Amino acid sequence: MRRAFNLPDVGEGLTDGEILQWLVAVGDEVTVNQPLCEVETAKAAVELPSPFAGRVAELLHEAGSTVDVGTPIITIDTGGDAAPAAPERTANLVGYGPRTTEARRRPRRTGAAEAPVSAPTERAPLLATVPDLDTKPVRHGGLEMGRAAEAHAAEAAAVQAPPSRAVRHGTGRPRPLAKPPVRKLARTRGVDLDLLTGSGPGGVITRADVEAAAAAPAATAPAEAPAAGEGEQRIPVTGVRKHTAAAMVASAFTAPHVTEFLTVDVTRSMKLRDRLAARPEFAGVKVSPLLLVAKALLLAVGRYPMVNSRWEEATREIVVPGHVNLGIAAATPRGLLVPNVKGAERLSLPDLARALAELTETARAGRTSPADMGGGTITITNVGVFGVDTGTPILNPGESAILAFGTVRPMPWVHKGRVRPRQVTTLALSFDHRVVDGELGSRFLAEIGAVLHDPAAALAL
């Protein structure tokens, strides 16, 4: 009996996801909850666990394919004498609620005389044999490679057709042979696999081939490439980048943004950071300037809770939550992520430091879950780590304020009537003017600046 596993909604209302890599192969034995593949959605990269135990029968999509939620991505032989005649209920991702979508198996082609499939988007299956993959039939474009694939293989062998580049894709050129991790590496490094000659068995492109091409891109250019458009690169916008682009456009043209700036002498805060780092409570934890900025913001929210709120368009209300889910914008190889620390206002300074460290490490490793990015109430973006003084940040959708923290640098500053070198930074606060008026925004920003200028002022809050 074969059971299909459909791509589940692993986030909040997601519509599709990109299969980054398969963690199993056809013929592998799998157990319940064993990771099957890694999928990138609009919010995060997650591993999908198997809801069934059995043997992998088919991988229905290549790594790199974007698949709609509810579409079958793998079939697993769970045992039994025959496949069920009726369509199966959509398999659920362990830990998520049930879905009502039904999955139907794709029709199997059994010979050339069989009537063609009526769906206009499907094509006759073609076979590529990859020598280092145990010569198993490889499936392309979401088509099933069953007996028809074996027939194609026999025909190809009979006419001595070269197997290394038998599959063709939309450009009409032979599809380059490479394993999913190598294809992912090529996309990351901006290398066109069509321009490479594989050094692996049977012409398979290896990681070394991609790395060499990335190091010397001129060597991979075709000898007769046209001059027009030379050097042009096209990057598909998918997953996190696609979601971020849509969210930023919606935010910029929905919420009326106002940005205010404040330059602050933070010399005392930097000295406090050094003293805190030496305390046993912070052993093994990085005490960064961002930690002190986050604490200053949380203290300011305590005095001005309206800044930590959102505009509810459906009811035309301002919603002020009773907690602070502090978002930290993190630049990752997959794009900008904004995971948040839940209930940050309740954490002690050492616990806040650990939460921030764990949040950023998880984001950079690409393991941030959709739950970690949902429900944020206010955000900090640390542009100072790039040596940037400040900026005009765009609100994270559903929030009313975002604070940009610039680099801390020594600058001449008037201190006690004399010009002295001091540690100075610039803060920029963008806020939704429907929720936060100019006075409230100014007082909130000034409060943050006052705490950073004189951390002892926090004792009075």
Residues labelled catalytic = 433
* 3-state per-residue secondary structure call for the chain: CEEEEECCCCCCCCCEEEEEEECCCCCCEECCCCEEEEEECCCCEEEEECCCCEEEEEECCCCCCEEECCCEEEEEECCCCCCCCCCEECCCCCCCCCCCCEECCCCCCCCCCCCCCCCCCCCCCCCCCCHHHCCCCCCCCCCCCCHHHHHHHHHHHHCCCCHHHCCECCCCCECCCECHHHHHHHHHHCCCHHHCCCCCHHHCECHHHHHHHHHCHHHHCCCCCCCCCCCCCCCCCCHHHHHHHHHHHHHHCCCCEEEEEEEEECHHHHHHHHHHHCCHHHCCCCCCHHHHHHHHHHHHHHHCHHHCCEEECCCCEEECCCCCCEEEEEEECCEEECCEECCHHHCCHHHHHHHHHHHHHHHHCCCCCHHHHCCCCEEEEEHHHHCCCCCCCCCCCCCCEEEEECCCEEEEEEECCEEEEEEEEEEEEEEECCCCCHHHHHHHHHHHHHHHHCHHHHHHC
